[in-house]
């Protein structure tokens, strides 16, 4: 039986090779996975032209996935340097990479990225439009915006962020409700500016059916962007954000009717006490579609440490139902991240995702923690390094301050609780002052 997309196959009762791979990774019955895909609660972004892809599922009852943003810009357009970040992200097993390139040889970088990456690849086509056509934003036509999406889809991109929810109706709500930080989404601000400059409806909203044609042809997953996500904790959960979420929910149903997979993008900046209600509201208004969040960043005063503020919010968000975390690096709000920033961002986000999986009781999520605890109890340093999320750093810290006795560290020495409990529990003498072991 023929099918057009993963969702189409799922509705027809067909189990695809991508479903089989994801089910095995998730320790899940493939028929349960297929049912979740048929209902839109899980997406497997897998463009037909991305031949090197090792597919992942995003959504209900699955492990929390992480995304790494990178790409060339006008100020930093070194493709080789960005590919180093790509290789680092792949080595650290990030499930997704988003190419946010906005200047220069974007197509060259995108094709190189797709051909070398087994992670799913996302893009934001509106970033590429100005450079692609060498036109000012105002002069780009609705058809040209759609053609950029098609170009990315043809290259093999697995999901695209499209800010279709900021239509005239949503924009009017924004104009009536003053914000501290206005519109902070780069793509959202560009789309709003185009609408204002041309006094036209958002082309991605007006021609949403044509957009779905492209998605259906390539099995391109739509990541419905949150143009009005809060860019400060002052603006979170306001009328602008909620109105757009309602529009995204309507667009989700239209996409599902065409068997197009959907991921919903969410905040943003948000105080801790609002995160749970926002996750519940998104799932309700968007009919259980997978939810992809940037952070949330839980305080606005930590430039240089936003990988931490983001990880705090991300862990909480994912524990309450977010399915996909976009990493944030220490360079957020300051500059393009370098290689070290990328590593710090990935590690912080992986910690958040794993902590949430434990809270969500994802099958086998605790296994590695129990293995680490056993290695600590046995004072098996090599095993601890092997299990660590960053083995290099753990090994370096141990090496930088070497204890006199291997069965301890320089914090506690012979007062190490693990060492002493092992001795006492096995009936041995305890020697804190004597020179012998």
Crossing angle (nearest 10°) for helices 208-218 and 239-257: 50
Residue 307 labeled ligand binder: no
Q: Are 422 and 416 in contact (CB under 8 A)?
A: no
Residue 376 CA to residue 378 CA, distance in Å, equals 5
Pairing of strands 58-59, 42-43: antiparallel
Residue 415 CA to residue 424 CA, distance in Å, equals 13
**Residue 14, Cβ density class (10 Å: 0-12 exposed, 13-18 middle, ≥19 buried):** middle
Token duo for residue 404: 């006199």
- Within 10 Å of residue 420's Cβ, how many Cβ atoms? 18
Residue 328 CA to residue 346 CA, distance in Å, equals 8
Token duo for residue 380: 């098996």
Token duo for residue 307: 């990988």
Residue 191 CA to residue 333 CA, distance in Å, equals 21
Residue 185 labeled ligand binder: yes
User: Collapsing DSSP states into helix, strand and coil, what is residue 394?
Assistant: helix
Residue 163 labeled ligand binder: yes
Residue 333 labeled ligand binder: yes
Residue 344 labeled ligand binder: no
Residue 226 labeled ligand binder: yes
Residue of 41, 28, 40, 33 whose CA lies nearest to 14: 33
Residue 228 labeled ligand binder: yes
Residue 137 labeled ligand binder: no
Residue 240 labeled ligand binder: no
Q: Are 296 and 336 in contact (CB under 8 A)?
A: no
Residue 231 CA to residue 397 CA, distance in Å, equals 36
Residue 416 labeled ligand binder: yes
Residue 201 CA to residue 403 CA, distance in Å, equals 67
DSSP-assigned beta bridge partners for residue 122:
98, 159
- Within 10 Å of residue 359's Cβ, how many Cβ atoms? 15
Residue 113 labeled ligand binder: no
Residue 150 labeled ligand binder: no
Q: Alpha-carbon Rg of the chain, whole angstroms? A: 24
Residue of 160, 153, 156, 158 whose CA lies nearest to 126: 160
Residue of 334, 298, 330, 336 whose CA lies nearest to 314: 298
Residue 63 labeled ligand binder: no
Residues sharing a CB contact under 8 Å with residue 296, sequence separation 6 or more, in sequence order: 236, 266, 267, 268, 269, 270, 275, 278, 310, 313, 314, 317
Residue 127 labeled ligand binder: yes
Token duo for residue 271: 């105080």
Report the binding-site residues for Zn(2+): 269, 333
Report the binding-site residues for substrate: 69, 98, 127, 163, 185-187, 226-229, 265, 292
Report the binding-site residues for [4Fe-4S] cluster: 409, 412, 416
Report the binding-site residues: 69, 98, 127, 163, 185-187, 226-229, 265, 269, 292, 333, 409, 412, 416
């Amino acid at each position: 039986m023929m099918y057009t997309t993963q969702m189409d196959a799922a509705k027809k009762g067909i189990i695809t090779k991508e479903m089989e791979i994801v089910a095995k990774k998730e320790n899940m019955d493939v028929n349960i996975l297929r049912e979740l895909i048929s209902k839109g609660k899980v997406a497997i972004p897998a463009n037909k032209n991305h031949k090197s892809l090792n597919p992942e599922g995003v959504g209900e009852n699955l492990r929390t996935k992480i995304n790494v943003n990178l790409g060339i810009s006008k100020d930093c357009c070194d493709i080789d340097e960005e590919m180093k970040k790509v290789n680092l992200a792949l080595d650290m097993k990030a499930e997704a990479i988003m190419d946010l390139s906005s200047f220069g040889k974007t197509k060259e970088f995108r094709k190189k990225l797709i051909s070398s990456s087994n992670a799913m690849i996302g893009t934001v086509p509106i970033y590429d439009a100005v450079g692609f056509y060498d036109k000012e934003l105002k002069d780009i036509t609705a058809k040209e915006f759609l053609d950029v999406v098609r170009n990315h889809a043809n290259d093999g991109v697995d999901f695209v962020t499209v800010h279709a929810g900021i239509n005239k109706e949503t924009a009017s709500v924004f104009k009536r409700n003053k914000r501290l930080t206005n519109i902070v989404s780069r793509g959202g601000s560009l789309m709003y500016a185009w609408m204002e400059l041309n006094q036209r409806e958002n082309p991605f909203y007006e021609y949403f059916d044509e957009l779905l044609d492209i998605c259906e042809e390539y099995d391109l997953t739509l990541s419905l962007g949150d143009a009005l996500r809060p860019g400060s904790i002052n603006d979170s959960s306001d009328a602008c954000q909620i109105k757009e979420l309602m529009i995204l929910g309507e667009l989700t149903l239209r996409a599902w009717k065409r068997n197009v997979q959907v991921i919903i993008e969410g905040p943003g900046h948000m105080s801790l006490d609002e995160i749970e209600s926002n996750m519940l509201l998104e799932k309700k208004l968007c009919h259980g579609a997978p939810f992809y969040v940037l952070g949330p960043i839980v305080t606005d005063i930590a430039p240089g440490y936003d990988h931490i503020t983001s990880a705090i919010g991300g862990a909480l968000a994912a524990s309450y139902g977010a399915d996909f975390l976009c990493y944030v690096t220490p360079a957020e709000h300051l500059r393009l991240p370098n290689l070290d920033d990328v590593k710090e961002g990935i590690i912080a986000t992986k910690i958040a995702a794993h902590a949430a999986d434990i809270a969500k009781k994802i099958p086998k999520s605790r296994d590695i923690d129990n293995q680490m605890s056993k290695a600590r109890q046995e004072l098996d340093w090599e095993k601890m390094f092997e299990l660590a999320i960053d083995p290099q750093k753990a090994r370096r810290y141990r090496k930088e301050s070497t204890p006199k006795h291997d069965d301890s560290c320089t914090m506690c020495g012979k007062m190490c609780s693990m060492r002493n409990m092992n001795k006492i529990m096995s009936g041995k003498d305890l020697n804190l002052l004597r020179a012998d072991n």
